[in-house]
Homo-oligomer: A and B are copies of this chain.
Amino acid sequence: MTSKEQIIPARNRPLIFNAFEMTGVGYYAHGTWTHPRSHREGFTDLSFWLDRARQFEEGLFDAVFFADVLGVYDIYRRSPDPAIRSAVDFPLLDPVTVIPAMAAVTRHLGFAVTVSTTYEHPFAHARRFASLDHLTGGRIGWNVVTSYLPNAARNFGLSEMPGHAVRYARAEEFLEVSYKLWEGSWLDDAVLYDKDNTVYADPAKVRRIDHHGQLFDVQGPSLVPPSRQRTPVIYQAGASERGRAFAGRHAEAVFVNGTNPGALTAAITAIRDAAEAAGRRRDDLRVVTDLSVVIGRTEEEARRKADLVRRSQSVEGALAGFGGASGIDLSTASGKERLSPAPGEHSQSEAARFTREKQTPDRVDDVVRRLTDLSPYSETLIGTPAQIADGISRIADTTGVDGFNLHEFVTPDDFTEFIESVVPILQRRGLYRTAYEPGSHRHRLLGAGDRVADTHPAAAFREVSA
């Protein structure tokens, strides 16, 4: 063991590593699909997703995380054209449709997928996710979002985006209905499958939920028998005050971000405080942050590769993405103007974090320069495999973050290189699993059972046999 490795404190568990994905051409860093070595053109083919699934499982990733949006970014230049041209989070297949196929060629990989509570109905959604939990053998997670795009609202018949408070009130009741269907409708011992007496399930143990709330009336029973996890692992990315309270109450894995350790540490503390305020334990949830890497055999090679990535990024794409996520149109702002933090509607977006983290408003030209740097919203590590591993250790040690959502600039090379060169180093340091432990996604993530913890709000809706 080198002296460098000795300074890494022992952890009681490996870090979490998820692969970040989107079901389209574009990706986290806008424009990098144009990189000469990037291959995302096959995203409409099943084989693309089967290959990704196999790669992620070979890499022993905890899960693949699918981000999603339900509209096109049309703030920058008041037009969708820049986003369409540069493929900024557009196009996007329905991410739910790739998961069953990816599950068919893997055994352990988890699946965390973004679905908005603003546009789905909880009965259909709860059925879909209960089905996915069965078919994946307890490997499904749900990233709960409330959506923020005006175009998404107009795709679903709303003339404007519902306000932040309205969306979160709907999300709360949506989750309550879902929990009732997942946890409370079928008792654990309801299914008998008794051929001799023609009793599939004991009707006394399959119950209507009879939910009558402010927004939803749902009778039930759930159409799906209990799955391994029942409630999928709940992911959330609550950056606003309201979002953080929501995440503190419901989330089992939370995305927080920050381009400096201080902001990240503060965000992690705030989210654990929120969990505690909601009557949960501080370690009832895991906190992960976004991370990009550029790996070279030498520092020099890594820097050259980073330059190539930088050149593949799209300025127009970055501005379109910032506009969509922040609501701010930089095409009409002059360079020396100062930028205010984004309005409340966008407060959970990365662009909002980007502006909020600054103590004082930025000048527009600073923002534009920053946006066109490598991965402006999250940390990017550039270096040799050992340097990347050191950087990962450092972030974990200095912030207490539980793990990372790993991004690519170049598909699929970045993950391949990470798996081949960085993972072995992290494994030697005890920071990365060396094999999948058996169990559900929740079990692996939280180190406890397959079902939600007793402190989780879903547990309140459990029904048990007398």
Q: Hey, which chain B residues are within 8 Å of A92, CB to CB?
A: 223-224
Q: Hey, which chain B residues are within 8 Å of A316, CB to CB?
A: 198
| Distance between Cα atoms of A199 and B100 in the complex (Å) | 31
A103 with B46: in contact, given A34-B195, A127-B94 (CB under 8 Å)? yes
Does A436 reach chain B (CB closer than 8 Å)?
no
Tell me the nearest residue of chain B to A181, going by C-beta: B155
CB distance from A77 to the nearest CB of B (A): 11
Q: What number of A residues sit within 8 Å (CB to CB) of B?
A: 83
Q: Hey, which chain B residues are within 8 Å of A193, CB to CB?
A: 25, 41
Bitwise interface map of A from 156 to 194 toward B, beta carbon under 8 Å scored 1, else 0? 110100000000000000000000000000000000010
Q: Hey, which chain B residues are within 8 Å of A46, CB to CB?
A: 100, 103-104, 135-137
Cβ contact within 8 Å between A86 and B44: no
Does A132 reach chain B (CB closer than 8 Å)?
yes
Cβ contact within 8 Å between A96 and B195: no
Cβ contact within 8 Å between A135 and B44: yes
Q: Hey, which chain B residues are within 8 Å of A159, CB to CB?
A: 217
| Distance between Cα atoms of A346 and B88 in the complex (Å) | 47
A94 with B128: in contact, given A46-B104, A200-B87, A206-B84 (CB under 8 Å)? yes
Q: Hey, which chain B residues are within 8 Å of A96, CB to CB?
A: 97, 128
Cβ contact within 8 Å between A101 and B104: yes
Q: Which of B94, B101, B227 contacts A103 (CB 8 A)?
A: B101
CB distance from A132 to the nearest CB of B (A): 6
Cβ contact within 8 Å between A132 and B31: no
Cβ contact within 8 Å between B131 and A97: yes
Cβ contact within 8 Å between A203 and B317: no
| Distance between Cα atoms of A81 and B208 in the complex (Å) | 11
Does A386 reach chain B (CB closer than 8 Å)?
no
Q: Which of B94, B218, B317 contacts A198 (CB 8 A)?
A: B317
- A80-B206, A99-B100 known; 18 new pairs, CB 8 Å cut-off, are A31-B198, A70-B123, A72-B221, A79-B203, A80-B208, A84-B203, A84-B221, A85-B198, A85-B201, A87-B201, A91-B225, A93-B130, A93-B135, A96-B97, A104-B105, A123-B155, A156-B218, A198-B317
Q: Using CB atoms and an 8 Å cutoff, list the residues of chain A in contact with chain B.
A: 23, 25-26, 31, 33-36, 41, 44-46, 49-50, 70-72, 79-82, 84-87, 90-94, 96-101, 103-105, 119-121, 123-124, 127-128, 130-132, 134-137, 151, 154-157, 159, 193, 195-196, 198-203, 206, 208, 216-221, 223-225, 227, 314, 316-317
18 A–B contacts from the bound complex (CB under 8 Å): A72-B221, A79-B203, A82-B203, A84-B206, A86-B198, A86-B200, A87-B200, A87-B201, A91-B201, A92-B224, A93-B131, A93-B135, A99-B100, A101-B135, A121-B157, A123-B156, A157-B216, A198-B317
